[in-house]
Amino acid sequence: MSPPTLIDAPSANSAEPVALSYELFPPRSDAASVTLWKTIRELECTDPDYVSVTYGASGSNHETALDLVDRLQLETTLRPLAHLTCVGGTPEELSRTVNALLDRGVRGILALRGDRPKDGHLPDGSLRYAQDLIELIRRVERRRFAQFAAGKVAIGVAAYPVKHPESPSVAHDIEVLLAKQRSGADFAITQVFFHPEQYSALVHRARRAGVTIPIIPGIMPLTSLRRILRLSELSGVEPDARLVDRMRAAADDVETARRIGVDASVALAEAALDAGAPGLHLYTFNEHESALEVLSKLNLPRPSRPSLQAHRRTT
């Protein structure tokens, strides 16, 4: 019998590394910027694969979003994933923004539609769907391929464990995800969800329909009832009624409410990992404490980067 090849040999550590990323939003004031940068430094110590930076569909924070992306690239070891929304933007405007991101060295974009304006009116010629933005990014990328040394821009998209509020059905959501994959999406990050089976059912439906890209669960550390209700309002996702009741019962005891919420987030993340999730994306709300608390309870298998350890020892 020939000796086992490297491919056959069992690995020293059988647990596959799990991807880790965080979502941040651009600060709205100088004070918020100070808090955010403390958070960024704390999160940096966990060596995530990337941090995503949100982008307001209304256009109000585009400059601060680009500034944050710049600072992450220039002042930290973190890799930014820039969110970009296309609703209301023309192909020319969006091409300019994509080029500006690529000029800055960004190589990961989360291609989103953004929420439609309240009056529902879109300017003439504006893009309608995230799928249009993916195709636009790929067109810009093709024109600049030589710069990427045979690499490519990683494009992420949104996926929905709970039906998107405007969608006629969960089956339609899957058709849209499949269309986004066909147009060039490399991975998906999910909207928040409160029941573990919602993530596994999404993955099951997606795989049966031919979606092969990684679907990374978006997990929010649920530290207070106020946050849960706000999150539900923003995302249109109904919160878990039992969790709301338990948090309400603990309303006078902030620490107990926080523990209940963090435990619920850990349980969601564990269930998603058990269902085969290839990574976790933590919605931080620009706070590190609860994200780090959830992480410390999960004990994720993560690759260690020797260069980073050395960098930390010398700084």
Chain residues in the site for ligand FAD (CB under 6 A): 54-57, 83, 85, 110, 112-115, 129-131, 158, 164, 166-167, 172-173, 176, 179, 189, 191, 218
- Find the shortest distance in angstroms from Cβ 24 to ligand FAD: 10
User: What is the DSSP secondary-structure string of the chain?
Assistant: -PPPPTTTSPPSS-SPP-EEEEEE---SSHHHHHHHHHHHHHHHTT--SEEEE---TTSTTHHHHHHHHHHHHHHSSPPEEEEEE-BT--HHHHHHHHHHHHHTT--EEEEE--PPPTT----TT-B-SHHHHHHHHHHHHHHTGGGGTT---EEEEEE-SS--TT-S-HHHHHHHHHHHHHHT--EEEEPP-SSHHHHHHHHHHHHHHT--S-EEPEE-----HHHHHHHHHHH-PPPPHHHHHHHHHTTT-HHHHHHHHHHHHHHHHHHHHHTT-SEEEEE-TT-SHHHHHHHHHH-------HHHHHHHHH-
Only one residue has tokens 């207070």, namely 224
- Find the shortest distance in angstroms from Cβ 215 to ligand FAD: 11
Q: Which is nearer to ligand FAD, 116 or 297 (CB)?
A: 116
Q: Which is nearer to ligand FAD, 17 or 56 (CB)?
A: 56
- Find the shortest distance in angstroms from Cβ 285 to ligand FAD: 13
- Find the shortest distance in angstroms from Cβ 158 to ligand FAD: 3
Catalytic residue list contains 23:
yes
- Find the shortest distance in angstroms from Cβ 145 to ligand FAD: 25
- Of 23, 44, 141, 293, which is the active-site residue? 23
Q: Which is nearer to ligand FAD, 176 or 247 (CB)?
A: 176
Task: Give the active site residues.
Answer: 23
